[in-house]
Chains A and B, each alone.
Chain A
Amino acid sequence: MKFRHSTVNVSEMDMTPMIDMTFQLISFFMFVINFNNDLTNEKIHLPVAELAKPVNKAPIEPLVLNVNRDGKLEVIGEQFDLRMPQDMARVNAYLKREAAIIRVKMQKLGKAAELGLEATVIIRGDERMQYGAVQDLIRACREAGFTKFSLRANIKPV
């Protein structure tokens, strides 16, 4: 059987509404995207506190410390067990290094070089970890020169 095409009919889709929509979507997702939370660890279940102050503006040069439920400090590429003395020595070294980096950054920003004045240590602790881990961590941070701490909690249950 033979089909005969008398006229070659090029049918074209009207793309304009689709492109409109797509651009709308892109701009929505662009505005919504948030790179501030890069340092947070999703595996950590924060405790819930309804009266915790909402974090409105990000602190200047924060140091984010994630502590998982086993009381291990998780930093990029490394894990320190806060219950082990030999690991605590490494934590101290790590914090001193970070403190030095933050000092340099602050000087570049023209802020006071004092860590205690501006830099905040954000402690994101898992709800199931033992309190002693936080105590040890805060102590180590204070020895490294940090004085401002922010314990993070979810305002609403997840």
Chain B
Amino acid sequence: MKIKRRSDDTKVELRMTPMIDVVFQLLVFFLFSFKIVPTEGEIGVNMPPPTVGAKPKSDEIELTEKVRIRLRAGDDGDLVAISVGENDIGDSLSGLTQLLRENIIGPAGSADDAEVEIDADRHLLYHFIVRATNAIQRAGIKKINFTDPFAPPTKKDKPTANDVIRRHFSGNDMRYP
């Protein structure tokens, strides 16, 4: 069978103009909404809810020996002094990393389960906190806490060094409120 070809071949043409209009609108929208976001990282902090009037469970606390890192701020909020436990180590964060790397061993014998608690002045600038956290992480320590400045039993205006140590071992911190 023979198919007859149509003699008058009408050319079907798509009207492009509206489509191109819309496409350009879309393009412009996506172009303008495009922005390069720097990669954000996070420092995770877990804190159980505060229990009112609860006493620290002493058995639990004695097992974990936390290293207390105190960050002192100058008048303008800059970091002026770091102390680990009771030892002042100046103001260098790389020094802190080195000291921790050399000396910190957790209860099970490795740096992995060592626990560090950061206690910083309230007017210290925030980026020093983050940098200190970074320096501690660099030493291989993963458990980092922050002290709770509003923990209930500290009634004195200025705790002495002994109080600090006692408080540290009585577990009066954010994780065991």
Contact = CB atoms under 8 A, between A and B. Distances in A.
Question: Are A and B part of the same complex?
Answer: yes
Contacts of A130: 77, 122-126
Indicate the size class of the contact surface on chain B.
35 or more
Contacts of A127: 125-127, 130
Contact of B43 (A129, A148, A150): A150
Given A150-B42, A153-B40, A156-B39, A25 B27 contact: yes
24 contacts: A22-B20, A26-B23, A29-B27, A29-B30, A29-B34, A47-B130, A48-B130, A51-B137, A52-B40, A52-B43, A53-B42, A53-B43, A54-B40, A127-B125, A131-B125, A132-B149, A133-B126, A135-B150, A138-B47, A150-B42, A150-B45, A152-B42, A152-B43, A153-B40
Contact of B41 (A22, A129, A153): A153
Interface string A29-69: 11011100100100000111111111100000000000000
Interface of B: 16, 19-20, 23-24, 26-27, 30-31, 33-34, 37-50, 77, 120-131, 133-134, 137-138, 146, 148-150
A53 B41 contact: yes
A33 B33 contact: yes
Contacts of B150: 135, 139
Interface string A94-129: 000000000000000000000010000010011111
Q: Is the interface of A mostly helix, strand, loop or mixed?
A: mixed
Contacts of A154: 38-41
Interface residues of A, number: 53
Contacts of A149: 44-47
A131 B38 contact: no
SS of B interface (majority) = mixed
Contacts of B33: 29, 33
B27 A26 contact: yes
Contact of B39 (A40, A54, A126, A131): A54
